[in-house]
C-alpha cells in the first residue's frame, strides 16, 4: 500500500534552514534520515517545500475566488515536505515517521493514498 508521510516544522526551523550557523545541523539530520529512508527501498517519491511565506492559499466562496498569501492557517507548525512510500503495512511507515527529525520538534502526519480511480469509458 502507498502512504504519504508529511513533515510539519515550527516556523523558526524554516529560518534555521537559511542561517549559516544553524543550517549544517538542520540539513545534516535530514540528510542522514533521507539516506536511510532511500536505502530502505520504500520511497516512491517526495520533495522538500519552500518556506510557508512562499505559499498561496485559494478558496472559492459563493462562486468567487479568494487568494491569500501564506499558508492555509496560522499554526505553530507548517508543512515542510513529504515522501510517498510503498510499504507492506502502516506499522512500517509509522516506524519511519518516528525516525524523522521533524518527529522530535514538530510532527509527522501519515496518510494512506487513495487507490487509483477507474477511468470512465
Per 3-state DSSP, the chain is made up of helix, strand and coil in percentages (nearest 5) of 35, 35, 25
Does residue 118 belong to any structural domain of this protein? no
Does residue 120 belong to any structural domain of this protein? no
Does residue 117 belong to any structural domain of this protein? no
pLDDT of residue 97: 95
Cα dihedral 50→53→55→57 (10° resolution)? 160
Does residue 56 belong to any structural domain of this protein? yes
Does residue 16 belong to any structural domain of this protein? yes
Tell me: the pLDDT tens digits for 50-85?
A: 877 788 878 888 999 888 776 655 567 788 899 999
Question: Which CATH number does the domain housing residue 88 bear?
Answer: 3.30.70.1060
| Domain interval for residue 32 | 2-112
Does residue 14 belong to any structural domain of this protein? yes
Task: Give the confidence band of 24 by pLDDT, cuts at 50, 70, 90.
Answer: very high
Give the predicted TM-score (pTM) of the model: 0.82
The structural domain count of the chain equals 1
Does residue 34 belong to any structural domain of this protein? yes
pLDDT of residue 72: 59
Tell me: the pLDDT tens digits for 78-104?
A: 888 999 999 999 999 999 999 999 998
Amino acid at each position: 500500500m502507498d502512504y504519504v508521510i508529511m513533515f510539519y516544522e515550527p516556523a523558526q526551523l524554516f529560518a534555521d534552514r537559511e542561517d549559516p550557523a544553524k543550517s549544517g545541523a538542520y540539513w545534516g539530520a535530514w540528510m542522514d534520515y533521507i539516506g536511510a529512508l532511500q536505502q530502505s527501498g520504500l520511497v516512491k517519491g517526495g520533495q522538500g517545500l519552500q518556506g510557508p511565506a512562499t505559499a498561496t492559499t485559494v478558496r472559492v466562496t459563493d462562486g468567487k475566488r479568494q487568494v491569500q498569501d501564506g499558508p492555509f492557517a496560522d499554526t505553530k507548525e507548517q508543512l515542510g515536505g513529504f515522501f510517498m512510500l510503498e510499504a507492506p503495512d502502516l506499522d512500517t511507515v509509522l516506524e519511519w515517521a518516528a525516525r524523522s527529525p521533524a518527529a522530535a520538534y514538530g510532527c509527522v502526519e501519515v496518510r494512506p493514498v487513495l487507490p487509483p480511480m477507474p477511468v470512465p469509458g
